[in-house]
Amino acid sequence: MSTDNLTADVFAKILPAGRDRALMRAALRLLTHGTPVTVTELAAAAGVPDLDPAQTPIGADVEYDEAGRIVGWGLTLNPTPHRFSVGGHQLYTWCAPDTLIFPAVIGAPACIESDCPITGTTVRLTIDPVTGVSDLEPATAMVAFVDPDRIQPGHLRATCCNPQVFLATSDAAHHWQAKFPGMTVLPVTDAYHQLARPLADAITDPTTTTGTSACC
């Protein structure tokens, strides 16, 4: 599968409509402040009246605190393997590709750390919306992307997010890839330019399309 088609297919599964993109933009920008977000605040910021998060494509995976406020919508206040530091706040993301996508949507650079599940090596990098990838360690690091056909609505984190990790080396990537049929692995910089940035641009600008297909 080409990266153009992969981007479009992922977009169509996760963010199929302009409403979904608006919610993602608003959720990321609000959660960047490091505090929970009420459903009312999200609805107002996204311009989506009568919002019921459960009815969105990622609704089953949205995280809440004990007061019913949103604490996770791709970007999360709850710890995950993918550490995402932005604006002085220690946040987390649901998957490795999220760390590459979100800085351009938020409009701010982020420092990222994530441990390779095969070698245990910590992958470190900075993503800037203007300059892209920098300070990548190790330089051999790669990113995993699942086959979009294996993404199951209602089980986004289990079928899409959890397998999508950073791998420290190509050998580690091949080992991980063997566990997930149809998975694509790319060097971090290639992943940013070919997949993550087009997705970020499409989320940020609803008129943008990814690849050759209409897309989220």
Inside any domain, residue 135: yes
Q: Which of 9, 61, 98, 147 is catalytic?
A: 98
Inside any domain, residue 114: yes
Residue 106, domain CATH:
3.30.450.410
Q: Which of 116, 160, 161, 215 is catalytic?
A: 161
Q: Is 124:133 a contact under the CB 8 Å cutoff?
A: no
Position 211 scores a pLDDT of: 42
Residue 128, strand partner residues:
132
Q: How confident is the model at residue 80 (pLDDT cuts 50, 70, 90)?
A: very high
Residue 114, strand partner residues:
82, 123
52 labelled catalytic:
no
Q: Which of 95, 116, 160, 216 is catalytic?
A: 95
95 labelled catalytic:
yes
Inside any domain, residue 215: no
Spacing of C-alpha 21 from chain mean position: 13
> pLDDT of 16-43, one tens digit each?
788 899 999 999 999 999 999 999 999 9
Prediction pTM value: 0.91
Q: Please give the sequence-ordered ranges of beta strands (E in DSSP) within the chain, or none if there are none.
A: 63-64, 70-73, 75-76, 82-86, 89-93, 110-115, 122-128, 132-137, 142-145, 166-167, 184-187
115 labelled catalytic:
no
Inside any domain, residue 211: no
